[in-house]
Chain A
Amino acid sequence: MTTAACFIIASRNDIPIYEAEVGSAAKREDAAQLPQFILQAALDIVQDLAWTTSAMILKTIDKFNDLVVSVYVTDDRFMLLHDSRSDDGIKSFFQEVHELYIKSLLNPLYLPGSRITSSHFNTKVGALARKYL
């Protein structure tokens, strides 16, 4: 069930504070940076869309070939590039990652907007991805 997916948390000023490759698809040599490009391009769309709705999850906002971008907006943007079809799984994934993010944000020594470097955070995101995607 795991599919190729790239997950990025971008801060309010569009600076990525966390990136992860989840999924087991083989990396394509010629397009190694492709996920990052697609997600950066989607940031513009997110900015406009974020102010039109008060819900937090914006479903699918952009398509690229057969890959789909889904976004979850709080003050930071959680962006997921994937090709799976389960909407509910994605929603639960986003909510769990949001909880993880809040917990690391509550650390008074963490400057909001700086990179998240904890390896434990990494492991947990990976586990969640395998569980929900």
Chain B
Amino acid sequence: MIGTGKIKQYANVLDKPLGKGKQEVSLSAFAFLFSELVQYNQTQVDNISELETRLEDAGYAVGARVLELLCHRDKGNRRETRLLGILSFVHSTVWKVLFGKVADSLEKGTEHEDEYMISEKELLVNRFISIPKDMGTFHCGAFVAGIVKGVLENAGFPAVVTAHFVPVEGQQRPRTTILIKFAEKVLRREARLG
């Protein structure tokens, strides 16, 4: 029979082994998929903030699953209980699995206690996207912000996560910053845990 592969057919997805996750997907395939996602959502909404919300929700679903999978696969079933721990987990492990490299930088906000920023020179999802002038402040990085939000919330650190362009001197394209603002109860718990 032509095409009989060596792959064992499993009756049910629950029987299939989880796998080592060394697969890579082609960038162009992802870019196409992502652009379709954005275009589809554009037809469904009336304004920009709704579009960003939809992208965030899509990312949230990804983030929830990525967290569970990574905890099981890479960290040998140890959870993060501290704020800095979960932030560095997002910054290195999650970024590495999703984008193939660690994020450019992780900074603590200076104005407020509960703000942190992850910066990236150019987000992978934005590489093939250009924003028309009339869309103003729209940022496709809302998808990545949603992923980070999904990871944080499902680890027990509820937060508001947004993506922003930050113009940088001497660079043509502005840097992208993901701003993470943690909820009150996270800070209180951190203080309690000392």
Contacts and interface: CB of A to CB of B under 8 A. Distances in A.
Q: Do A and B come from one complex?
A: yes
| Interface range on chain A (Cβ under 8 Å from partner) | 20 to 34
Interface residues of B, number: 24
Interface stretch (B27-35, B69-77, B109-117): B69-77
Interface in B18-37: 18
Q: Is the interface of A mostly helix, strand, loop or mixed?
A: mixed
Given A75-B156, A100-B14, A105 B77 contact: no
B189 interface: yes
B77 A56 contact: yes
A17 to B, nearest CB: 14
A103 B65 CA distance: 10
A56 B154 contact: no
A11 B31 CA distance: 34
Contacts of B67: 75
Given A75-B156, A102-B68, A118 B14 contact: yes
Interface of A: 12, 50-57, 73-75, 95, 98-108, 112, 118, 120-121, 124
Interface of B: 12-14, 16, 18, 61, 64-65, 67-69, 71-72, 77-81, 85, 154-156, 189, 193
